[in-house]
Structure 1
């Protein structure tokens, strides 16, 4: 199969159009929600999600805490769905993120959040889903049908929805302008050559994916996709946490993929990459404007908040190609279904 014939490739390729469509369609609902949140700020923010959507929630945590200064925590769905423990969420903003909006444990948590007095916002791709029906406000992802088991455009759409809400909530003119430029940046970034990654990991058995701050969520997402589509054991770590034990595993030819954005985390992440190289590791680095051996191209010129969307889009294209090179079909991972209904 040609890599361009996979659904994963084709759906990831739609990301720029999805983001542009989402921003236009959601402007009214996002702006209205932002006005209400400015008038009555939440005490804190709770996110709830599973899988790739939870990796979007990890990104949201850094965005909301750095840009809005509001503590943001990830809810453990089983605390409410399995243990039925009441939560003290009065005055909180509860953000549920889901592609399908069907997972029973997510629905139970959203219902519990409403009962506890939280405002429930759903970032969901299926607008007539049970989760959307439960929510006080629905921010549709507008990703369209996604047939590959591996989520791609819906994940990028979730990150874009987080950015959109943050920009309007904060009244950030600069970030608002960046949102206008983001679809074109995604289009131009699609052609970035990441073949070194898809060729260099054909025979790999284990892998670290490293990110920090805004990039930690996409590191988690990339590690999942390596396992899901490529049969490659990968673990994600913060560039700070990887030195607290996991680094002991890294030696000659051990593969490491680092994601970096141009902010205060950049120097530290690049330093970790250099330390891995010093141990003889096979290191790949994706960072805006960086070139040279082992560097994967990433468009520059947008705020660091936007960089994770550009990086993960290029990663999806490379992962689709790597999956085929390793003898897998990225659209039909073994033992997995498109919708996972946990309780």
Structure 2
């Protein structure tokens, strides 16, 4: 996990260069024939990338984004109505039966398919109208890392080509390399003996929070739940206190003030609060390189992966071999 996560900057550099022509062509198509809906299809970490896609596409293009429920097609056999829809499928392996069933149903319903997939010659890749390889290379650790970062970067590249605005891409590989060197050791020490926590984000940062919570569960045996900072006050905050920490992802956009307010309120009540991307009174700051709001979640997840691998070892776990899990999950 540690070694593969460290390869993310190089993977993103390969992906951005290798897919430049296909992304440009997809961008032209999306401008000439804008979809009325984008339907995301994914599981696990890839579904967290789909959460990022929702906020990125909706805030940058105004096009509504919905998440497909794979069981609708794979179990219930329901045919959706998807004319003028782009089905955006995200997967590391491109092999899960329910993912493929959902894509097949979308095609029958009239949708076009763009596939962000690390295994380009997979069944998903064969079904795609727009094949967008992640170029992350083999990923042997059960916990996906560089493929997730590459998925987020690919989403940035899609929207950049769609809107003809490359400001979110910047020096992304160099910024990811810088993020890998950020010192998040206070998080490792703060969660070494923890039993559970919330991981919070909002908007573009919610997918990062979801991904971090999953990794803490699977690699460190921590009961971590992800919430939007807009939702956590509706009941879940009752658990927060000195023995129940918060890990908060903040990006520099319209959500920042609300995120900071919640973090400060929790810290004032004695809760251990760790904030990535900002200084909050009473909270422990986790450094993040300066970047656009859309690029910031990628950088924070990259820093988090290094800390997560170290935390797993500190808690006596092998982050490469989580119990009861396998690399490719084939859900029906």
Tell me the TM-score normalized by structure 2: 0.98
For residue 334 of structure 1, what is the aligned residue in structure 2?
323
Aligned to 2:92: 99
Matched, 1:274 2:274: no
Give, in angstroms, the shift of residue 180 of structure 1. Answer: 3.8
Q: Hey, what does 2:148 align to over in structure 1?
A: 155
Query: CA offset at residue 115 of structure 1?
Result: 0.6
| 1:320 matched residue in structure 2 | 309
Runs of 4+ residues over 2 Å off in structure 1:
288-293
Corresponding residue of 1:73: 66
Distance 1:292 1:239 in 2: 18
Residue 238 of structure 2 corresponds to which residue in structure 1? 248
What aligned pairs does 1:9-158 form with structure 2 within 5 A after superposition? 9-158=2-151
Using the size of structure 1 for normalisation, the TM-score is 0.95
Q: Distance in 2 between matches of 1:259 and 1:153?
A: 19
Matches within 5 A, 1:146-225: 146-172=139-165, 176-225=166-215
Q: In the alignment, is the contact (CA less than 8 A) between 1:30 and 1:165 conserved in 2?
A: yes
Structure-2 separation of matches of 1:34 and 1:13 = 30
Supply the RMSD in Å over aligned alpha carbons: 1.2
2:95–2:330 Cα contact (<8 Å) kept = yes
Q: Deviations over 1:229-266 (max 9, x none)?
A: 00000000001100000001112232110000000101
Are 2:216 and 1:226 equivalent residues in the alignment? Answer: yes
Query: Per the alignment, in what secondary structure is the counterpart of residue 304 of structure 1?
Result: coil
- What is the total number of aligned residue pairs between the two structures? 332
**Partner of residue 297, structure 2:** 308
How far is 1:288 from its partner? Answer: 5.1
Whole-Å Cα distance in 2 between the matches of residues 236 and 177 of structure 1? 29
2:251 paired residue among 248, 261, 277: 261
Unaligned 5+ segments in structure 2 are: none
1:23 to 1:290, Cα distance in 2 relative to 1, 3 A: farther
SS at match of 1:243: coil
Segments of 5+ residues of structure 1 without an aligned counterpart are 1-7
Q: Is the 8 A contact 1:289 1:299 kept in 2?
A: no
